Structure 1
Amino acid sequence: MPVKRKPDQSIIEALNKAQRIAFGPVLFQAVRSALATGLLSHISEAQDTEDEAARACGLTAYAVGVLVDVLIAGDVLTKAADGKLALTKTGQCLLLDEMTRVNFNFTADVCYRGMDHLTEALTEGKPAGLKELGDWETIYPAISQLPHPARESWFAFDHYYSDRYFVMLAEELRDRLNPQTLFDVGGNTGKFAAACLKAMPQTRVTLIDLPQQCATACSNSILAPFADRFSAAEVDWLKPDCFPSVGHKADVIWMSQFLDCFSPEEAVSILQRCKPLLSERGRFAVLECLVDGQKFPAAGFSLAAVSLYFTTMANGNSRFYRRNDLLSVFKNAGLDVEYCRDNVGVSHTLYILKPTAAK
């Protein structure tokens, strides 16, 4: 991603931005405390003075005072001449915007303590921060076992960026590819499988994932009405010789935010192992977030930041792909892009892939 810098940036502007980075963790924790104590919520509703807000929230005047100072400096609050406090637009986003809340809680509950081990993760190629949540080699087998509130925040983050588009994407697969059989690789809790089963009454869906995720999906009540057309197959893709045991081939192999959980070499291996599972007319449908494929700077920044979650907390060697890097994965796996659609939902790109024709 090219570095963007204003050529006319003054030293004062540069110093201001540098101090925001230097004290960024302090501001983050101040916002976290203001949310946890109800201070931001109260100010949003009442626009009280500091003393009034302190009494309403059960805090001392000192506690409110130090929070207010840093939140004003951080453009979260304003104070009028009469001492009345109010939320800025940024403060309103932190309190009321669902995307901001999901991102904030994911950072606070899943990533924050682990990020202290980022340098170790970068130098060793392992998720060195994961030990702050539990004793696992990678986060994936442990998702359903994560401690509170990390588990809830992880699923809220995952679902926010996936679930809201599942119905639309299931209908798009139906209209574009009309599969009779579909494999949902990395299907997690089975929500996309359920969307496909509902949108395509003739389609059989097999969810392929780790044993823990398959067990979670099979116990998910949303799949119960489709028991005659739903199945699950266990696999550990990190074992190079491991293949899922399935009794038929797939017209569509679906992967949603799945390849970003693996290094490029691992992703190529997985795609190559999946290719023999395609039917004669089979296609891959891959949904990914591209760090350099975003319309809005906030989206690109968010994806770049979350890549460090993969580094420190998840597996130590994956990331959200840059476009050309993902295209290289497809090419190295022997796949051609048949269709591509950017700007799916908040930040996704959809690829339809077919095996490269033999020469």
Structure 2
Amino acid sequence: MKNFFDVSKMSAGDAQYEAQKIAFSPIVFQVARVLRTSGILKHLDGNRAGLSSDEIANDLSMSPYVVSVLLETGLSAGIVAKNNELFSGTKIGYFLLNDEMTKVNMDFNHFVNYLGLYELDNAVKSGKPSGLKVFNNDDTIYPGLSKLPDDAKKAWFDFDHFYSDSAFKEAIAILAQYNIKRLLDIGGNTGKFSRLCATSIPTCHVTIVDLPGQLDVAKNENEKAGLSDRIDTYFANMLDETTKLPTEFDAAWMSQFLDCFGEEDIVRILKKVAQGIADDGHIYILEPLWDRQKYATSAYCIINTSPYFTAMANGTSKMFNFGEISKYISKAGLYVDNIYDNIGFSHSLIVCKKIKGDA
């Protein structure tokens, strides 16, 4: 594993400065977001020679006081630069304005997580997603995804799809090598992967397994795509011990699904999924494993998604490292037959099989 986060050689002064960045990070986050949404960053991007605070305020019909406050915090965070009295954008400001990953992450944290993470200490003590009460009184976020406020719903699905969708085409190219005829898409959500799989592998019939809200959307989208005869849906609450899956499938697929559960539930789900596939079938697990990343940026983003699960999603799950998920796979009577790293932005595709003699 690459040691992305080694700070052992940092000086005391630098360490204290980094600590202050953390202490003020909620303020800096919101200022950075408003610098983007107010148009200030875009205006600076179009005026590379620089603008004064008063010029920006006049051009954007904003209060000079407000612009001054935002720019000075932006200066302290390296989002803007100042030369004499002129402000200009920086590389950091450019990524905040233009980088899709940065925008998706920022909107997810603002609209989905920001208010709820105030309850992180309570979530840590209780093992429940205490912050979810800002939206509803459900036990987990998943049943109510389709009923979230519009901004939060869009931010949640944009975040989820941005990372998973980047890996789908590469993953399907790998699946195509395994001659799959019948595939279970566990936690298939609104069916994006299933539709891509069905169109990319013409011999494959897919069954999406999920909760009613997601399946309703998937059915509509499948029909629009003309794929209703190639894709079925099957309602199942995977946490319900009485739930039984359809059987005799060649393979099962789970994309960013197992990270929605705690260890005991993951092992139970994997055992249940194994019962639905043929003895020589495969289980494909697509997950962003933070310790198998090529770059520090992706490892950082993956690790810091875990508190969302703690405070908002379910109170029990997290983003995995490879050692953790390997342990769960083994406990379920499976073994890792192969693993493909660097799929899409940040994913690994783990290919599992049943240990001989196990159901």
The TM-score by the shorter chain falls in which range?
Answer: over 0.9
Aligned partner of residue 320 in structure 1, secondary structure: coil
The 1:4–1:220 alpha-carbon spacing in structure 2 relative to 1, beyond 3 Å, is closer
Aligned match of 1:233: 234
Aligned match of 1:111: 113
Whether 1:171 and 2:173 are equivalent positions in the alignment is yes
Whether 1:102 and 2:101 are equivalent positions in the alignment is no
* 1:305-341 per-position Cα deviation (integer Å, ceiling 9, x unaligned): 1000001100000001121110000000000111111
Q: 2-side partners of 1:57 and 1:230: how far apart? A: 50
Where do residues 6-25 of structure 1 align in structure 2 (5 Å cutoff)?
6-25=7-26
Residue 37 of structure 1, CA deviation: 1.3
Residue 8 of structure 1, CA deviation: 3.4
Aligned match of 1:189: 190
Tell me the amino acid that sits aligned with residue 85 of structure 1: F
- Say whether the 8 Å CA contact 1:194–1:222 is kept in structure 2: no
Residue 180 of structure 1, CA deviation: 0.6
- Say whether the 8 Å CA contact 1:127–1:315 is kept in structure 2: yes
Q: Percent identity?
A: 36
* 1:150-203 per-position Cα deviation (integer Å, ceiling 9, x unaligned): 00000100110011322232222012x110100100000101000111011121
- Say whether the 8 Å CA contact 1:205–1:229 is kept in structure 2: yes
TM-score (norm 2): 0.95
Whether 1:298 and 2:297 are equivalent positions in the alignment is yes
The 1:4–1:38 alpha-carbon spacing in structure 2 relative to 1, beyond 3 Å, is closer
Tell me the amino acid that sits aligned with residue 311 of structure 1: T
Identify which of structures 1 and 2 has the higher relative contact order when contacts are C-alpha pairs closer than 8 Å and 6+ apart. 2
Aligned partner of residue 225 in structure 1, secondary structure: coil
Q: 1-side partners of 2:204 and 2:129: how far apart? A: 38
Aligned match of 2:313: 314
Aligned partner of residue 226 in structure 1, secondary structure: coil
- Say whether the 8 Å CA contact 1:194–1:223 is kept in structure 2: no
Aligned match of 1:51: 54
Q: 2-side partners of 1:293 and 1:119: how far apart? A: 29
Q: 1-side partners of 2:83 and 2:329: how far apart? A: 56
Residue 302 of structure 1, CA deviation: 1.2
Q: 2-side partners of 1:111 and 1:278: how far apart? A: 37
- Say whether the 8 Å CA contact 1:181–1:250 is kept in structure 2: yes
Residue 221 of structure 1, CA deviation: 4.8
Aligned partner of residue 183 in structure 2, secondary structure: strand
- Say whether the 8 Å CA contact 1:181–1:205 is kept in structure 2: yes
TM-score (norm 1): 0.95
Q: Report the more deviating stretch, 212-221 or 193-202.
A: 212-221
- Say whether the 8 Å CA contact 1:223–1:230 is kept in structure 2: no
- Say whether the 8 Å CA contact 1:126–1:312 is kept in structure 2: yes
Aligned partner of residue 336 in structure 1, secondary structure: strand
Tell me the amino acid that sits aligned with residue 62 of structure 2: L
Aligned match of 1:326: 325
Aligned partner of residue 106 in structure 1, secondary structure: helix
Tell me the amino acid that sits aligned with residue 94 of structure 2: Q
- Say whether the 8 Å CA contact 2:339–2:348 is kept in structure 1: yes
Aligned partner of residue 237 in structure 2, secondary structure: coil
Q: 2-side partners of 1:71 and 1:106: how far apart? A: 21
Residue 279 of structure 1, CA deviation: 1.9
Aligned partner of residue 294 in structure 2, secondary structure: coil
Aligned partner of residue 341 in structure 1, secondary structure: strand
The 1:89–1:111 alpha-carbon spacing in structure 2 relative to 1, beyond 3 Å, is same
Aligned partner of residue 321 in structure 1, secondary structure: coil
Aligned match of 1:79: 82
Aligned partner of residue 220 in structure 1, secondary structure: helix
Residue 59 of structure 1, CA deviation: 0.8
Aligned match of 2:67: 64
Tell me the amino acid that sits aligned with residue 77 of structure 2: G
- Say whether the 8 Å CA contact 2:172–2:197 is kept in structure 1: yes
Tell me the amino acid that sits aligned with residue 305 of structure 2: V
Task: Find 1:89's aligned residue among 81, 88, 91.
Answer: 91
- Say whether the 8 Å CA contact 1:284–1:353 is kept in structure 2: yes
- Say whether the 8 Å CA contact 2:170–2:343 is kept in structure 1: no
Aligned match of 1:148: 150
Structure 1 unmatched runs, 5+: none
Tell me the amino acid that sits aligned with residue 198 of structure 1: T
The 1:340–1:113 alpha-carbon spacing in structure 2 relative to 1, beyond 3 Å, is same
Tell me the amino acid that sits aligned with residue 65 of structure 2: Y
